[in-house]
Amino acid sequence: MTDSKERTIIVVEDEADAAEMFAEMMRVSGFRVLKATSSAPAMSMIAKEKPDAVILDIMMPDISGLEVLRFMRRDPALSRIPVVVVSAKSMPADIKTGIEAGASIYLTKPVGFLDLKEAVEKVIHP
């Protein structure tokens, strides 16, 4: 039996190749995928779509991914959407900051297909 509503993932990643790779990983896993390459459009897309999960990079060209995360956590309509952070920032302090800002799971780049798929499945079906 399939879901009547296809599950949606929004990928927020400024590097086009990485964004497409994450998007393809999620499409292969059966998700509908939307991509944003900067934070401002990502925030309106997240608010409009209310996706099942967000894959979020921290280092973005306009607004930090941490600000996107805080924006989501402040909005009651978005606060329960799980966010999987995928970032090159891998120091313990960076990870702690990401978790404190509201990340459901914090993965460091490079991230493999199975790790990303497992993280998304874990946050969607806790």
Which helix (H) or strand (E) segment holds residue 34: the answer is: strand 32-36
Amino acid occupying residue 1? M
**CATH number of the structural domain spanning residue 20:** 3.40.50.2300
The span from the first CA to the last CA of the chain, in angstroms, equals 20
Evaluate whether residue 112 is within a structural domain.
yes
Query: What is the domain extent for residue 88?
Result: 8-121
Evaluate whether residue 66 is within a structural domain.
yes
Residue 50 has a CB neighbour count (10 Å cut-off) of 12
Evaluate whether residue 2 is within a structural domain.
no
Phi/psi at 22 (nearest 5 deg)?
Answer: -65, -40
pLDDT tens-digit map of 25-55: 999 999 999 999 999 999 999 999 999 999 9
Evaluate whether residue 126 is within a structural domain.
no
Number of domains in the chain: 1
pLDDT tens-digit map of 89-126: 999 999 999 999 999 999 999 999 999 999 999 999 86
pTM: 0.94
